[in-house]
Amino acid sequence: MLKARQTQNAQKIVGLLKAAGEVTRLRLLALLSEGELSVKDFTEILGQSQPRVSRHLKLLADAQLVTRHAEGAWAYFRLSDAGPGRALNDWLFQTIDPASPELRRDRDKLAAVREAHRDQANAYFAKIAGDWDKVRSLHAPDSAVEAAIIEMAGDGQGRLMLDLGTGTGRMLELLGGRFEHAIGIDSSREMLGIARTKIEEAGLGNVQVRLRDITDIGDHAESADLVVIHQVLHYFDDPATALIPAAECLAPGGVLLVIDFAPHNHEFLRTEQAHRRLGLSDEQMAVWARSAGLEVMQVRRFPSEKEQGLTVCLWRLERRV
């Protein structure tokens, strides 16, 4: 019995080492240390065919070095965050030289792929900025969702609210008045143009907007009592890359509200509206929150009243104690 268990254990270790012990698969693991990626991203970065990349990824997933998440016609992968797979990955990243030319080239290509995705989203928002408020209200019953956002934000007041991916500034209008300062951040000049007009018309003297990427907000470290990310994370291949800097902005006792879609199968949203992720599940949110040092404290859901409509989810996140 003991011998059988030892053999099984030895086989598992050999399987794990064999899975990691190949150049392309090492490159895939190194790329995943930068965040979640889809098969499509890998084929673009490595210049290898989809069946070939999928075969390598399957071996890594079977050995539990990575986990796979299917989303419509795509699949996303991330590094395992527990077990022997995690331990081996940690050792690999301590040992591999990140400056090796091949890994550097892969990282440069990844940066180019991510920039292309951002450009696509920016072009989409430049085009629809004037209609965004109408588009948003088609997704879900706005008044019910907004009432829940107000409730989940808590009734306390504070010094600073940050609205990340503020767009036309609706969250600033809704909640900004309770704070000494409220700042909306967005990378779309066109969306911010509309937000500025609305803020001026509403006479919100304590509210400002800034043109910037929401992953580049280090100057607000530990300063915000409330951070809101409303319908933004599905534009990210890896939502954790936005949640981590957002979490770093929270003042002690601060609250992060994420509002986004539940998982869906509307593939056309990728091609027509620049979405990267087809909704976010509670399980994924728990993993991303953990990677940002946060915990999901409350979830609320608002199914659409229309057939095939999208369910809107609200997650309240706080720092883990």
Residue nearest to ligand SAM (CB): 167
Among 40, 136, 196, 300, binds ligand SAM (CB under 6 A): 136
Please say whether the dihedral angle defined by the alpha carbons of residues 187, 188, 189 and 191, taken in this order, is positive or negative.
negative
Q: Say how many residues touch ligand SAM, by CB under 6 A.
A: 20
**170 near ligand SAM (CB under 6 A):** yes
The strand pairing partners of 211, in sequence order, are 186
Among 77, 125, 261, 288, binds ligand SAM (CB under 6 A): 125
**188 near ligand SAM (CB under 6 A):** yes
Nearer to ligand SAM, 57 or 242 (CB): 242
Cα 109 to the center of its chain, rounded Å: 20
**172 near ligand SAM (CB under 6 A):** no
Would strands 158-164 and 179-186 be described as parallel, antiparallel, or unpaired?
Answer: parallel
**227 near ligand SAM (CB under 6 A):** no
Cβ at position 234, least distance to ligand SAM in Å: 8
Give burial (CB, 10 Å; 0-12/13-18/19+) of 127. exposed
**173 near ligand SAM (CB under 6 A):** no
Binding window for ligand SAM (CB under 6 A); candidates: 42-50, 87-95, 212-220, 305-313: 212-220
Classify 18 as helix, strand or coil. Answer: helix
Q: Where are the alpha helices (DSSP H) in 176-222?
A: 189-202
**241 near ligand SAM (CB under 6 A):** no
Classify 214 as helix, strand or coil. Answer: coil
**89 near ligand SAM (CB under 6 A):** no
Q: CA 195 to CA 201: how far, in whole Å?
A: 10
**148 near ligand SAM (CB under 6 A):** no
Among 59, 148, 207, 214, binds ligand SAM (CB under 6 A): 214
Among 29, 30, 79, 121, binds ligand SAM (CB under 6 A): 121
Q: Cβ contacts of residue 27 below 8 Å, gap of 6+?
A: 46, 102, 103, 106
Token pair recorded at residue 290? 């953990």
Among 85, 158, 165, 263, binds ligand SAM (CB under 6 A): 165
Cβ at position 261, least distance to ligand SAM in Å: 10
Among 29, 79, 232, 285, binds ligand SAM (CB under 6 A): 232
Q: Cβ contacts of residue 41 below 8 Å, gap of 6+?
A: 110, 113, 237
Binding window for ligand SAM (CB under 6 A); candidates: 34-42, 94-102, 228-236, 246-254: 228-236
Binding window for ligand SAM (CB under 6 A); candidates: 64-72, 163-171, 172-180, 299-307: 163-171
**231 near ligand SAM (CB under 6 A):** yes
Q: Which amino acid makes up residue 118?
A: R
Please say whether the dihedral angle defined by the alpha carbons of residues 164, 169, 170 and 174, taken in this order, is positive or negative.
positive
Q: Cβ contacts of residue 164 below 8 Å, gap of 6+?
A: 185, 214, 217, 227, 228, 229, 232, 242, 246
**250 near ligand SAM (CB under 6 A):** no
29 phi/psi in degrees, rounded to 5: -65, -40
Query: Which chain residues interact with ligand SAM by CB under 6 A?
Result: 121, 125, 136, 165-168, 170-171, 186-188, 191, 213-215, 230-232, 235
